[in-house]
Amino acid sequence: MGANNQSCNDIDECSTNKGNCSQLCMNINGSYACSCLPGYLLGANKQSCNDIDECSTNKGNCSQLCTNTVGSYVCSCQSGYLLGANNQSCNDIDECSTNKGNCSQLCTNTVGSFACSCLPGYLLGVNNQSCNDINECIMNKSNCSQICTNTNGTYMCSCNSTYQLNADLRTCRFIGLCAMANGNCSDICTDQNGSAICSCTSGFRLGTDNKTCSDINECSTNKGNCSQLCTNTVGSYLCSCLPGYLLGANNQSCNDINECTMNKGNCSQICTNTNGTYMCSCNSTYQLNADLRTCRFIGLCAMANGNCSDICTDQNGSAICSCTSGFRLGTDNKTCSGEKNDR
């Protein structure tokens, strides 16, 4: 009651021990009301506050995990996920984007996780990350018919000597001794009864080691049947001829070249063929020049003195005979006699 003993004043129950409210107290005219902080629910006694378990209803809208706390709750994600910006949704973590998820070879991202795998020829280790080489040669996976060599991630087949790998790169076929360094033969190798037999091509002779071939000098025996010149070559020989001869169709004989049939051998008048060469000569009243090809006119008197017994004079293409003083020309106009000329 008020001081005038007539009016009534409201009592603020919240001012004393919060009106026994456990959290919030709100005074109202003639009474008061307890309330709770967010995340709490007012109890049946209208004073105490009980924690609300938000996770019990739709997981508190968390997409994966919900953890209730006093007065609130927290969303979280399973391994392999990351909480989104809204603190409720969970996004997949691509573990392969960072250092290949520590996989030594291949990394495959999956929803909420990842998987390591290996290239062909490798096997995933017990730690599910490292890759170990498979030794196909000891696991009978190679199918090599003779030799198997393991390599990183694969293997190779090969063959023993005298064998060669087939196109399937697995099996081997026998190729003989000649296929290996030609059986150590320098020329021709023939497999025969398990041995390599050496021989030589025409023009070569097998040496005493029965391996090496040396050139035969055909010219050393009868000049290789060449009629004139023989030149030895590697594995053969060549016949050739002296100047003035032409090699025959049999490539051995030499035939004389008749130079006179070809522009008279450049003789200006007469050409005479001889074995291996030719000669130029001149008509009467002409004489061969120093070049042994051309002729110069020398007159009738130059030829046996024009048949004059004494003096011969070339005149208008004729040889005119005369006699020295004290001799007389005979009736043949050639011969001079010892009788003096008439005065």
Tens digit of pLDDT for each residue in 149-190?
A: 999 989 999 998 788 899 999 999 888 888 888 989 999 999
Distance of CA 201 to the CA centre of its chain: 32
Q: For residue 141, what pLDDT is reported?
A: 65
Cα(first)–Cα(last) distance of the chain, in Å? Answer: 224
| DSSP string of 201-254, one letter each residue | -TTEEE-TTSS-EEE--GGGTGGGG-SSEEEEETTEEEEE--TTEEE-TTSS-E
Helix (H, G, I), strand (E, B) or coil at 55: helix
Q: For residue 342, what pLDDT is reported?
A: 45
Q: Residues in the chain with pLDDT < 70?
A: 1-4, 141, 339-343
One-letter identity of residue 102: N
- Residue 183 φ/ψ, nearest 5 degrees: 60, 20
Buried b (16+ CB within 10 A) or exposed e, 193-207: eeebebebeebbebe
Distance of CA 309 to the CA centre of its chain: 96
- Count of CB atoms within 10 A of residue 138's CB? 10
State if pTM tops 0.75. Answer: no
Q: For residue 339, what pLDDT is reported?
A: 58
Cα(273)–Cα(93) distance, integer angstroms: 110
Cα-Cα-Cα-Cα torsion 67, 69, 71, 72, nearest 10 degrees, comes to -30
What is the Cβ-side half-sphere exposure of residue 125, based on CA atoms within 13 angstroms? Answer: 11
How large is the C-alpha radius of gyration of the chain?
A: 67
Retrieve residue 175's tokens.
């190729």
- Count of CB atoms within 10 A of residue 48's CB? 16
